[in-house]
Amino acid sequence: MNSSTLPPGGPLLLASVVAHRGASGDAPENTLGAIRLAADQGARCIEIDVSISRDDVPFVHHDDTLERCTNGAGRLCDHDAAELDRLQADKGHSDWQGESLPRLSAVVELCRQLNLGLNLEIKPAAGLEQRTARAICTQLSATWPEELPFVFSSFSTAALDTARECWSDAARALLVGRVPADWKERLSRHACRNLHCAGGQLTAEDAGEIVAASVGLYCYTVNDPVRAGELLAFGVHGVFTDHPGRLLAALPA
């Protein structure tokens, strides 16, 4: 694949509104409760963040450390799975008591039950990029329902490349902030079908070029329905939002 050739297959289309860490504007992020609420609000696809425990078990959690969202402390990757299973992940949400720190396996089963597509962001701790991607692929390649949409995303190209080696059939998306000038070369180099970028920085010109190249274009994290409408009018395929119910109610069907 040369620098001007994008991966075959065209864009991976998930949904026009993707629930960012579940319905994280109303529930503890990256929890089973937030995912159920997103589905209740009408979302057909969710986005989650996944890293690994010290013994290589994938857990759904955004930060390297545990303090912001859980009653634990220290780096997630420094704890065994049995320790992480005992944690609560509802910190700061007094009306959401009893939400545990979920394993990826529990989220996969819930997606199966609720018929939800999944954007899984690989969130490795520094130095664990390949190990994290391998652990996730080992589990998901055997358990993800083939009929449901799925895409990996990551800011870590090392993690994306490892995911490509371990589970070549799974689609991949490169995460960026502002769209870089060499976006097409980067997507080609890492065999990514989608580009996911910051919604506040995307221009109509960039969006038009990306969509014209048959690349899936998604924007994070868009909580303003007006901006979401502007981006979709640019040709963006979808937006990630903390408030899926609010956006779905405001946007045209």
Domains of the chain: 17-250 (3.20.20.190)
Give the C-alpha separation, 46 to 140, whole Å.
16
Q: Please enumerate in sequence order all residues whose Cβ is within 8 A of that of 133, keeping only pairs 6 or more positions apart, or say none.
A: 122, 124, 158, 159, 160, 162, 163, 166
Give the C-alpha separation, 226 to 235, whole Å.
15
The pLDDT tens digits of the residues spanning 209-219 come to: 999 999 999 99
Mean pLDDT of the chain: 95
Q: What is the pLDDT of residue 85?
A: 98
The pLDDT tens digits of the residues spanning 57-91 come to: 999 999 999 999 999 999 999 999 999 999 999 99
Give the C-alpha separation, 21 to 63, whole Å.
12
Share of the chain above pLDDT 70, in %: 96
The region, left, alpha or beta by phi > 0 then psi within -120 to 50, assigned to residue 107 is alpha
Residue of 54, 49, 107 lying closest to 84 (CA atoms):
54
Residue of 40, 136, 132, 58 lying closest to 101 (CA atoms):
58
Q: What is the pLDDT of residue 4?
A: 54
Q: Which one is catalytic: 61, 62, 93, 237?
A: 62
Structure confidence at residue 41 as a pLDDT band (50, 70, 90): very high
**pLDDT surpassing 70 at residue 18:** yes
Q: What is the pLDDT of residue 9?
A: 67
The pLDDT tens digits of the residues spanning 223-237 come to: 999 999 999 999 999
CB 45 within 8 A of CB 119: yes
Burial class (CB in 10 A: 0-12, 13-18, 19+), 87: buried
Residue 73 or residue 12, greater confidence: 73
Q: What is the pLDDT of residue 3?
A: 46
Q: Which one is catalytic: 20, 79, 237, 243?
A: 20
Q: What is the pLDDT of residue 13?
A: 84
The pLDDT tens digits of the residues spanning 182-215 come to: 999 999 999 999 999 999 999 999 999 999 999 9
DSSP letter for 78, please: G
Active site residue 196: no
Structure confidence at residue 5 as a pLDDT band (50, 70, 90): low
Tokens of 251: 């946007």
Q: Please enumerate in sequence order all residues whose Cβ is within 8 A of that of 191, keeping only pairs 6 or more positions apart, or say none.
A: 1, 7, 164, 172
Residue of 90, 76, 119 lying closest to 32 (CA atoms):
90
Mean pLDDT of 94-105: 94
Residue whose tokens read 């629930």:
19
Active site residue 20: yes
Q: What is the pLDDT of residue 1?
A: 42
Residue of 248, 237, 196, 252 lying closest to 38 (CA atoms):
248
Single pTM value for the model: 0.95
Q: What is the pLDDT of residue 76?
A: 98
Share of the chain above pLDDT 90, in %: 91
Burial class (CB in 10 A: 0-12, 13-18, 19+), 226: exposed
Across-strand partners of 47?
A: 20, 119
Give the C-alpha separation, 55 to 78, whole Å.
9
Sequence-ordered strand ranges (E) for the chain: 17-20, 45-52, 58-60, 117-122, 150-154, 171-175, 194-198, 216-220, 238-241
Give the C-alpha separation, 14 to 35, whole Å.
16
